[in-house]
Amino acid sequence: MPKRVTSPREVAAKESRAILRRAIRLALDTESAAVRHNTRSFNLNRYRATAALPDYDALKDEARRIKEHALVNRKALVQRLSESVTRNGGHFFFARDAQEAGQYIQGVCKRHCVRSLVKGKSMTSEEIHLNGALEHDGIRVVETDLAEFILQAADEQPSHIIAPAIHYSRERITALFRRKFQTDLPLDTGEDLTRFARERLRQDFLAADAGITGANLVSADCGSLLLVESEANIRLTCIAPPLHIALSGLEKIVPSRREFASFIELLAASATGQPLTSYTSVIRPPLAVPVVDFRGAGPATREFHLVIVDNGREALARDAQLKEALYCIRCSACLNSCANFQVLGGHGFGGATYSGGIGATWEAATTGQLKLARFSDLCTGCSRCVPQCPVRIDIPGLNVELRSRLNKSIPLSLTARAMHLLLGASPVENASAQQIFFAHYDRLARWGTLFAPLSNFFSKVPGARWFLEKSFGIDRRRHLAPFPRKTWVDISADEVTEKPDAPRGPGVLVLADVFTNYGAPERGKDALRCLRAAGVRVRLTKSLPDGRAALSQGMIDTARAQAETLSRYIAAENAAERPLLVVEPSVLAMILREYRKLLPAEAFVKLQNSTIDLVQFLARHFAEQGSDPRAVFNIRKFAPGPRVFYHAHCQQRAVSDPSITVEFLRRLGFEVTCSQVECCGMAGSFGYKKDFYDVSQAVSEELVEQWKAAESAKGPHTLLASGVSCIEQLQGATGRAVLHPVELLAKLL
């Protein structure tokens, strides 16, 4: 057994799966409760605040455009900013790396004989390990953001980009302060703790020789800083000491102060979910207001230094696949909307400085070490962060790219080679045996089905699950669905080609996705029955892998090859451009979202225009025909009653509006209660992996709670979920049967 982790610092740098596992254990054991509570409250507030923004989408487009443009023009902007700062009477320094930045700031402090300095929260200063360098020079460094104050007392790294001590409950802060500060003052409420910190820190502010802040944005035209905060510690840091040093990454520069306007409301809404936080400062240091001699050191003039840091950003800007990470405005929406982050926080799902889905790219770029992006494995690709990002960064896409590079950085193992050979999979792409196992689900399933029930018998042989766990890391506690003897395509032979007596209505093509084809053939058949009953002429495709399984393992080349094959096949089969209907939401999202990056634009747009969720097609079909779906789907045939609890698939919600399905069910007479969670926790193969089983289970708890709450309020509900893996997760967690919407509909025929 590895020794127990005592401090999050020990597992901050996640260089390997082993460290990642230990960090996950630490996070689940000691930090999860506070993180769950705090991230979910941020998440709810953000949904409310962004819904109240009158032009949320337009603001996002504008913010993205400004950032794209600024990054292209970064060299000129740096030059212009340097001139502006100098013109204002400040000093400008461009630091190529962490060391240069640290040395420059150390030099400034030495010249000013700085003995103590106050700091506002700055992730960039965490990134360049500034505190250590200054303390080495004998300077007393005081973190004044209350979260950073907690972390400094505890000697821990941040666990969140805007609330760095999000993993601390009030009770744990009380215990920490008692231990650290040896005080008898009352510390039993948030007010007590705040008063205690405020009184200590007020003295530090007024006695400080220098103040260090970050910046949310910097304008090149006039050297203005945008500083967003609530505690007023940044305002004090800027104004009380005579010397102000601001530290910022080069990606924070925008052309002019006017551009701040597009970010101010967007940032507050996306971050804490407020219209604005208490203080949004727009300042152009050195401030004009005279220095008040709080220190008793005599009159002093103000001095300002702006340190712009590269530290890997320039290289990131030239990285076509990853550069969009630089648009990040550090709002944390992607962290708070991430189901895995909600149970782990940044000590599990994060590195030494940056955390969450966006954090892995940042951690790798600013350290220059790809291996430190290992925590990107915790990004399941669920895509719930995608619609939340104010600058529209494809965060799951970044993590797939990182995973692919991590795969390529490790030579293929013998087992992995054997797997490739055995499965006859091409291209031969670097990945672990586990990844190859999951990526080629279709091939495994084809063999499994071909040799069922023998293959199912093998999985029940004593030791089989042990073998799967040892060889492929498939957690033995997970239920593995048996392979069917016949696939969806097999049992729908009549439907593969159009029958002469088929309905005369509009024709559609139904995609025989591999998950439904091998995992739930009866569900597929139900889908076809529903369509036929609705008067739709159906044709079922061949079952071809769509690339989702491979992509989720970071096997981009394999995914692209599969996407191309599928796209060519559909193009040939679908000359009439009939709608392409999809039952499995992860495949739907693959085609509608991920194919944008995998296919030539023309092929993508063609598929995008024709592909639709099967139930949503039905809803549209009835609406277009002006006919009443109740004439086809009779709710009275469903004995368990009208109450259903529906969990819409995470990836599906990134590409289509789940309320269409919900409204359709309501139209049929169902009383639908929807889950309010971001993801069920299974997320394809994620929850099957031994390393992540506990995370997956922790994520599912909230979903189960919501279902129980619905039942205790209104009585029994039929459980409904749209994804193969959501259904598996819910069945495992509740012990109840879970239906796909098409299975429910088929019961009404």
Partner 1 sequence: MMHNTDGQSEPVNLVSPAQQSYLDQFREQVSATGGTIEFVARSPEAVRDAVLARASSKRPILIAEPRYLSPDYFRPLRSEEGVLTHPHADDYRSAPVGVTEAFAAVARTGSVCVDIGADIAGYVSLLPRLHIVVVDAERLVFRPSDLFRLEQFARPTFHRDFVFISGPSATADMGPLVRGVHGPHELHIVVLC
Q: What are the φ and ψ backbone dihedral angles of 503, each rounded to 5 degrees?
A: -55, 155
Cβ proximity to partner 1, 79 vs 256, nearer residue: 256
Q: What are the φ and ψ backbone dihedral angles of 245, each rounded to 5 degrees?
A: -115, 125
Q: How far is CA 736 from CA 212, 539, 730, 733, 745, in A?
A: 56, 33, 8, 8, 19
Q: How far is CA 51 from CA 274, 277, 557, 738, in A?
A: 11, 17, 38, 32
Interface positions, 235-254, toward partner 1 (CB under 8 A): 235-236, 239
Cβ proximity to partner 1, 265 vs 584, nearer residue: 265
E-strand spans in 616-741?
643-647, 671-674, 718-721, 738-739
198 touches partner 1 by CB under 8 A: yes
The site map against partner 1 for 1-40 (x = CB under 8 A) is -------------------------------------x--
Binding piece for partner 1, criterion CB under 8 A, among 188-196, 333-341, 644-652, 719-727: 188-196
144 touches partner 1 by CB under 8 A: yes
Residue pair 547/560 in contact (Cβ under 8 Å)? The answer is yes
Q: What is the 3-state secondary structure (H, E, C) of 456-496?
A: HHHHHCCCHHHHHHHHHCECCCCCCCCCCCCCHHHHCHHHH
Three-class SS state of 118: strand
451 touches partner 1 by CB under 8 A: no
Binding piece for partner 1, criterion CB under 8 A, among 227-235, 306-314, 350-358, 719-727: 227-235
Binding piece for partner 1, criterion CB under 8 A, among 104-112, 284-292, 541-549, 686-694: 284-292
Among 190, 368, 427, 716, binds partner 1 (CB under 8 A): 190
Tokens 């802060």 belong to: 173
Cβ proximity to partner 1, 222 vs 674, nearer residue: 222
Among 10, 83, 153, 232, binds partner 1 (CB under 8 A): 232
Among 89, 106, 115, 222, binds partner 1 (CB under 8 A): 222
Cβ proximity to partner 1, 73 vs 169, nearer residue: 169
Residue 301 CB, shortest distance to partner 1, in Å, is 16
Q: How far is CA 316 from CA 289, 362, 365, in A?
A: 39, 9, 6
Give the amino acid at 464.
A
Among 31, 265, 363, 743, binds partner 1 (CB under 8 A): 265
576 touches partner 1 by CB under 8 A: no
The C-alpha angle 147, 34, 674, rounded to 5 degrees, equals: 125
231 touches partner 1 by CB under 8 A: yes
258 touches partner 1 by CB under 8 A: yes
Residue 304 CB, shortest distance to partner 1, in Å, is 12
Cis omega (within 30 of 0) on the bond before 286?
Answer: yes
146 touches partner 1 by CB under 8 A: yes
Cβ proximity to partner 1, 287 vs 709, nearer residue: 287
Cis omega (within 30 of 0) on the bond before 427?
Answer: yes
Binding piece for partner 1, criterion CB under 8 A, among 288-296, 553-561, 629-637, 641-649: 288-296
Residue 149 CB, shortest distance to partner 1, in Å, is 8
233 touches partner 1 by CB under 8 A: yes
147 touches partner 1 by CB under 8 A: yes
Three-class SS state of 121: coil
123 touches partner 1 by CB under 8 A: no
79 touches partner 1 by CB under 8 A: no
183 touches partner 1 by CB under 8 A: no
288 touches partner 1 by CB under 8 A: yes
Cβ proximity to partner 1, 140 vs 235, nearer residue: 235
262 touches partner 1 by CB under 8 A: yes
Cβ proximity to partner 1, 197 vs 416, nearer residue: 197
Q: Which of 438, 433, 323, 336 is nearest to 68 (CA)?
A: 323
Q: CB-based contacts of 241: which residues, under 8 Å, 6+ apart?
A: 117, 118, 205, 208, 209, 210, 211
The sheet carrying 303-309 orders its strands as 91-95, 303-309, 243-249, 210-213, 116-119, 140-143
Here the tokens at position 414 are 């013998």
Of the CA atoms within 13 Å of residue 357, those in its CB half-sphere come to 31
156 touches partner 1 by CB under 8 A: no
Identify any residues that bridge with 671 across adjacent strands, giving them in sequence order: 643
The site map against partner 1 for 157-176 (x = CB under 8 A) is ------x-x---xx--x---
Residue pair 682/649 in contact (Cβ under 8 Å)? The answer is no
Q: What is the 3-state secondary structure (H, E, C) of 202-215?
A: HHHHHHCCEEEECC
Residue 662 CB, shortest distance to partner 1, in Å, is 31
Q: How far is CA 379 from CA 139, 150, 399, in A?
A: 39, 28, 7
Cβ proximity to partner 1, 185 vs 454, nearer residue: 185
44 touches partner 1 by CB under 8 A: no
C-alpha span between 263 and 66 (Å, rounded): 10
Interface residues with partner 1 (CB under 8 A) are 38, 144-147, 150, 163, 165, 169-170, 173, 189-191, 193-194, 197-198, 201-202, 205-206, 221-222, 230-233, 235-236, 239, 257-258, 260-262, 264-265, 268, 272, 274-284, 287-289, 292-294, 296
